[in-house]
């Protein structure tokens, strides 16, 4: 009985919202757009930042999504996440864009990167995923930084699950506002707020690690994975998308 009542309330809210939208349109003579339509429109005209490699851009649909959070899943070691980081830093330095690296577990090693590519990098050591996202919530408002790298590969699921859903969405709104690029590196899926989830599944052999870095980059393959929201995030997303009216 309670479930039926909840469904009826939801339907009544949708009907009332549609009625209000029609009334406003008739009275104001202006276009009325729902939050869901605004988000869909934004996604259709989504900007991309080139990875600096034609082969990667082809796999990524033109490059890394701007104004979005992208998850890059590396379930095992030696699958190429370090190569991706190196390419991101190289491209950012070439374009004189500043990078914020939020490192949980402090596994970042400068020896693995070109000294020149570290010129535009600011590294921040974080004690937990929650601390890293709280820091991202603050620094993503800073217009001086364009690229944010969040390394949660050494984090446990119980750690990032403590991050509140509304904080993820607040970060996402700030990324959209500045059309920044944010990549979250992890061993498994973290949040459904991510625009896209890519997996690195091709494990590099020990022998291949002796190859030149540019040769190794050519072997990196991104596999798209479906982003599925947990129930609590799904409810939050529906509220976020469906209950906002905009008058333009």
Measured distance CA(123)–CA(182) in Å, rounded: 15
Task: Note the pLDDT tens digit of each residue in 160-211.
Answer: 888 999 999 999 999 999 999 999 999 999 998 888 899 987 776 655 555 6
Q: Which fold has domain 47-239?
A: Rossmann fold (3.40.50)
Evaluate if residue 227 carries a pLDDT over 70.
no
* pLDDT reported for residue 104: 92
Domain boundaries, the chain: 2-40, 47-239
Task: Note the pLDDT tens digit of each residue in 209-224.
Answer: 556 778 888 888 888 8
More confident residue, 228 or 39: 228
């Amino acid at each position: 009985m309670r479930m039926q009542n909840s469904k009826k309330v939801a339907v009544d809210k949708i009907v009332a919202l549609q009625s209000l939208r029609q009334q406003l349109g008739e009275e104001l003579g202006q276009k009325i757009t729902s939050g869901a339509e605004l988000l869909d429109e934004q996604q259709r005209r989504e900007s991309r930042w080139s990875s600096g490699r034609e082969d990667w851009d082809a796999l990524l649909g033109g490059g890394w999504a701007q104004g979005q959070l992208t998850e890059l899943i590396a379930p095992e070691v030696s699958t190429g996440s370090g190569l991706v980081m190196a390419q991101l830093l190289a491209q950012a330095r070439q374009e004189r864009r500043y990078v914020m690296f939020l490192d949980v577990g402090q596994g970042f090693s400068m020896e693995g990167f070109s000294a020149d590519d570290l010129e535009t990098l600011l590294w921040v050591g974080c004690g937990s995923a929650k601390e890293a996202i709280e820091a991202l919530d603050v620094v993503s408002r800073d217009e001086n930084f364009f690229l944010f790298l969040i390394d949660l590969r050494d984090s446990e699921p119980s750690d990032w699950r403590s991050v509140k859903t509304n904080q993820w969405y607040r970060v996402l709104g700030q990324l959209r506002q500045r059309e920044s690029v944010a990549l979250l590196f992890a061993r498994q899926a973290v949040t459904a707020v991510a625009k896209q989830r890519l997996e690195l599944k091709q494990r590099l052999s020990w022998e291949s690690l002796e190859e030149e870095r540019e040769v190794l980059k050519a072997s990196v393959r991104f596999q798209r994975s479906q982003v599925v929201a947990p129930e609590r995030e799904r409810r939050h997303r529906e509220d976020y998308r469906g209950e906002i009216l905009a008058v333009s």
